């Protein structure tokens, strides 16, 4: 959080929790591309050692190494943005992509199929210092409510506002796990300048909707 921001102890605690989880996820998610890079390096070394003809196999491994480096870089960037969001442009599409990148591991661990619709970049009018945390908490709440099921994410315009909707379907919802994130979403929505509507009735699919004004 940038200097000069005054945040409540509750927001600070929630932020610390989020960063801790993101750090854990980063350690895990970063290892997959590193692991793949090590394997491709080995294949590349064996290809060269065995003097195999043709550049295609070697080029493929080199490309895989580039992809791996790109993936690690994106993860580090996402974590860096989460750690100091004040400089970010307020973009709801980028925020949800960041949340997915950082917490995709949590989705796999909870056996949640995540499906997203909408543009990758949707600028909104919001305080970037809170938007990043808000979207991450909303995503984690959606995952907990969609355990062993599906989480549908839709980003789109709704008249004068831009809407981010998360709908958790099927499976075995973990309401206890979702509760602290829902609490954070409620607290941060007003700080970020978003309107929150939620439908959390036990019998129906859980729905969280955040709407933002278009940028001026």
Partner 1 sequence: MPIDTAPIRSLKARVLVVDDDASTREVFGELLQRWGYDVEQTGDGHDALKLVTERHPDVIISDLVMPKLDGLALTRALREESPDTPVIIITGKGTIDAAVEAVREGVFDFVEKPLDPARLKVILQRALEKRQTEHEMQVLRRRLGQVDSGVGLVGQSPAMRKVMDLVEKVAPSKASVVITGQSGTGKEMIARAVHQLSPRRDKPFIAINCSAIPAGLMESEMFGHERGAFTGADQRQLGAWELADGGTLFLDEVGEIPIELQAKFLRVLEEERLRRLGGKSEISIDVRVISATNKDLKEEIKSGRFREDLYFRLNVFHIPLSPLKERRDDIPLLVQHFIDGFGREGGKKLAGLTPQATKVLSEYAWPGNIRELRNTLERAVILCGSAAIDVEHLPAEMAVGGGESAYLKVPFGLPLREVEKEYILSSLGRMQNNKARTAQALGISEKTLYNKLYRYSGKGPRPKDDAYDDDCDDDRPPEAKATGAA
Least Å distance, CB 52 to partner 1, is 10
Nearer to partner 1, 93 or 142 (CB): 142
Chain contacts with partner 1 (rule: CB under 8 A): 24, 27-32, 34-40, 42-43, 46, 64, 67, 105, 108-109, 111-113, 148
Q: Give the three-class secondary structure for 165.
A: strand
**Cβ closest to partner 1, residue 40 vs residue 187:** 40
Nearer to partner 1, 109 or 117 (CB): 109
Residues 108 and 76 sit within 8 Å (Cβ to Cβ): no
Q: For 158, phi and psi rounded to 5 degrees?
A: -135, 85
Rounded least distance, CB 36 to partner 1, Å: 5
Look up residue 91 and give its DSSP letter: B
Question: Beta 206-213 vs 113-117: how paired, if at all?
Answer: unpaired
Nearest CA to 210 out of 119, 142, 114, 144 is that of 142
| Residue 163 CB burial class (10 angstroms; 0-12, 13-18, ≥19) | buried
* CA distances, 128 to each of 13, 80, 89, 112, 156 (Å): 18, 14, 7, 28, 19
Placement of tokens 């619709």 in the chain? 117
Burial 122-142 (b: 16+ CB within 10 A, else e): bebebbbbbbbbbbbbbbbbb
Nearer to partner 1 among residue 9 and residue 51 (C-beta): 51
- Least distance from C-beta 101 to partner 1, angstroms? 14
Residue placing its CB nearer to partner 1 in the complex, 34 or 83: 34
211 touches 161 (CB < 8 A) = yes
Shortest Å, Cβ 42 to partner 1: 4
C-beta closer to partner 1: residue 109 or 214: 109
Q: How far is the CB of 112 from partner 1 (least distance, A)?
A: 8
Minimum CB separation of residue 64 from partner 1 in Å reads 7
């Amino acid at each position: 959080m940038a200097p000069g921001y005054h945040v409540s102890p509750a927001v600070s605690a929630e932020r610390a929790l989020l960063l801790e989880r993101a750090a854990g996820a980063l350690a895990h998610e970063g290892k997959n591309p590193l692991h793949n890079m090590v394997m491709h390096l080995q294949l590349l070394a064996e290809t060269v050692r065995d003097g195999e003809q043709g550049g295609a196999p070697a080029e493929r491994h080199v490309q895989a190494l580039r992809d791996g480096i790109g993936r690690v870089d994106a993860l580090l960037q996402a974590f860096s943005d989460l750690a100091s969001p004040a400089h970010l442009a307020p973009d709801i599409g980028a925020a949800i992509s960041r949340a997915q990148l950082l917490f995709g591991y949590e989705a796999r661990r909870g056996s949640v199929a995540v499906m997203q619709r909408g543009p990758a970049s949707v600028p909104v009018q919001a305080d970037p210092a809170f938007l990043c945390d808000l979207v991450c908490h909303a995503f984690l709440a959606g995952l907990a409510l969609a355990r062993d099921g599906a989480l549908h994410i839709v980003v789109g315009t709704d008249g004068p506002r831009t809407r981010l909707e998360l709908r958790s379907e099927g499976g075995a919802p973990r309401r206890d796990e979702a509760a602290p994130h829902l609490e954070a979403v409620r607290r941060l929505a007003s700080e970020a300048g978003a309107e929150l509507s939620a439908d959390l009735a036990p019998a129906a699919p859980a729905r969280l909707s955040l709407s933002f004004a278009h940028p001026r």
